[in-house]
Amino acid sequence: MSRILITGSSKGLGRATALELARRGHEVIATARKVETLADLPVAQRLELDVTNDASVQRAVKQAGRVDVLINNAAEIVVAPLESTPFEEVRHLYETNVFGALRMIQGFTPAMRERGSGTVVNISSVVGRVSLPLTGIYSSTKWALEALSEALRLELGHFGVRVVVVEPGQIGTGALDAPRAYFGKNDPYLPLRESRRFGPREEMTPPETIARIIADAVEAPEQRFRWPAGPDAEALLAARAKLDDPAFDTALRSAIKLQW
């Protein structure tokens, strides 16, 4: 069994993934900014970790010891038009979703490279391949993570280290119940916001389902790079692959019921 470190393990997909991998017998290192939120997780080790902080990441590298699998899951989302998203928020999302993952990669992969084995799993999103209105900044962080992953796959693959990208669709974790949003009282994008209302959790893919796909990706013997996760992700990415831009635009508007 592998020794696996997961970022953002306190709730949602990170917690579900920690539980699934522990259930399968792996030695899980769960991490979160507030380590007390991990107290009830049946895992091998719990660490305080803030992926936006260099010193915190370096402490985690020392405390974790050998890590066979790194799962970069920690991420945040914001809903707003691009023209009015505060730059402070843009920087925060990149600091967490992109630079945080890169800090972890730089912290943990040198040992994997030296051993000639290991796996990096980057949790991207379907919007890392298909950008949607009002989540453009979040989408761009996932596109960036996809780009880093593609380069990393070739760089580390030479040394026997696997790189995997998991691309979920909408996950019923509650993250989309009340995301941080930026709209004025008479904002011209309010009609778009109404059109882009997220459905109830019950209509989204349960985090436990995505966690099983992540665990399967960790355990898979084949060198498969991308893992779409959830029926909505599979359908949308399949359409993106076979349709030209005008046809895909029509299909996308229909799929997300976009009246705009």
Domain residue ranges of the chain, discontinuous segments joined by +: 3-232
Per-residue three-class SS string for 35-74: HHHHCCCCCCEEEECCCCCHHHHHHHHHHHCCCCEEEECC
Across residues 155-160, what is the average pLDDT?
Answer: 98
Ranking 55-59, 66-70, 175-179 by mean pLDDT, the lowest is 175-179
Q: Which residues are catalytic?
A: 124, 138, 142
Please provide the CATH number assigned to the domain covering 3-232: 3.40.50.720
What's the residue count for the chain?
260
Across residues 102-128, what is the average pLDDT?
Answer: 98
Confidence of residue 106 (pLDDT cuts 50, 70, 90): very high
Output the six-digit token pair for 179: 């995301």
Across residues 44-62, what is the average pLDDT?
Answer: 98
Residues 112, 65 contacting (CB under 8 angstroms): no
Residues 137, 82 contacting (CB under 8 angstroms): yes
pLDDT of residue 98: 98
Q: Is 236 helix (H, G, I), strand (E, B) or coil?
A: helix
pLDDT of residue 30: 98
Mean pLDDT, all residues of the chain:
95
Strand partners, 70: 5, 120
Reported pTM: 0.95
Output the six-digit token pair for 182: 């930026």
